[in-house]
Amino acid sequence: MSTRIIAVANQKGGVGKTTSTVNIAAELGARGKRVLVVDMDPQGNATTSLGIDKKALNATVYDVLLGNAPTEIVVVQTGREGLHLLPATVEMAGAEVELVDQPRRDSRLRDALIPVADSYDHVIIDCPPSLGLLTLNALCAADGVIIPLQCEYLALEGLAQLKNTIDLVRSSLNAKLHIIGVVMTMYDGRTNLAQQVVAEVRQYFPQRIFNTLVPRTIRLSEAPSYGQTIREYDPSGRGTQAYTMLVDEIERREAA
């Protein structure tokens, strides 16, 4: 299967997982790639960010994981060329509990993607802020992981735990899984703290940190409320430029 499946993961909340998922996917789509975004977060923020009305959905990734609906029926178009979505709503919160007693509980997403994966060049998975069964499903399905890390105090807190989880999944469930890179988000170069955090992460992950620094901008925060990607909301802004450069780096690393 030539499809590249990427999980965007960090068990800490508010670090830019959804922002990165949506805007990486949108940039790949703008380059002519066929992209599927999988929203695995019960908050459904990726679904909202792409302008999808949750109330109008007949089924979600919850139904796919529980075997109640086939993946190809649940996938929705986003109104953007080549960019589709496997949506989520708050009912996903119950999936974590309901999956516990299911067979192949950690491979449900991987199995569900098999019928549709060949229709896409990339599948980008937005993980919830936890290391529970939903994130485990994402890691079992993925080829690689992108870790967004906020440029703030205690940024490295929990990163070792996430890396250990990825190592465990690679050794026991998914041998192809690897860390594509760590992307620093909400960067404000005017502060010494942000520069110190980036320097600290470079020491911890010298070969993994992306050179691109995603800035802290109001435009990136505003775009989801309009159901738009940053390249739609602010085409020439710093956020758009950052995600363009980040996708350049991702494509180079994945081609290596």
211 in Cβ contact with 182 (< 8 Å): no
Could you give the percent of the chain with pLDDT greater than 70? 100
Count of domains observed in the chain = 1
The range of the structural domain enclosing residue 23 comes to: 4-251
| pLDDT at residue 244 is higher than 80 | yes
Give the angle subtended at the CA of 222 by the CAs of 216 and 225, to the nearest 5°.
145
The candidate with the shortest Cα–Cα distance to 8, out of 148, 131, 113, 111, is 148
The candidate with the shortest Cα–Cα distance to 140, out of 115, 102, 104, is 104
**pLDDT range class, residue 207, cuts 50, 70, 90:** confident
| pLDDT at residue 256 is higher than 80 | no
Residue 184: its H or E element: strand 178-187
**pLDDT range class, residue 177, cuts 50, 70, 90:** very high
Average pLDDT score over the chain: 94
Beta strands 76-80 and 83-86, pairing class: antiparallel
Q: How far does Cα 216 stand from its chain's mean position?
A: 18
| pLDDT at residue 231 is higher than 90 | yes
Average pLDDT over residues 80-108: 91
| 112-170 per-position pLDDT tens digit | 999 999 999 999 999 999 999 999 999 999 999 999 999 887 878 888 889 999 999 99
**pLDDT range class, residue 101, cuts 50, 70, 90:** confident
Q: What is the pLDDT of residue 87?
A: 98
Statement: the pTM of the whole predicted model exceeds 0.75: yes
Give 110's Cβ-side CA count (13 Å radius).
Answer: 19
**CATH number of the domain within which 185 lies:** 3.40.50.300
Q: Is residue 68 part of a domain?
A: yes
Q: Is residue 256 part of a domain?
A: no
Q: Is residue 47 part of a domain?
A: yes
Q: Is residue 50 part of a domain?
A: yes
| pLDDT at residue 49 is higher than 60 | yes
**pLDDT range class, residue 1, cuts 50, 70, 90:** low
Q: What is the pLDDT of residue 157?
A: 82
Alpha-carbon gap, residue 40 to 38, rounded angstroms? 6
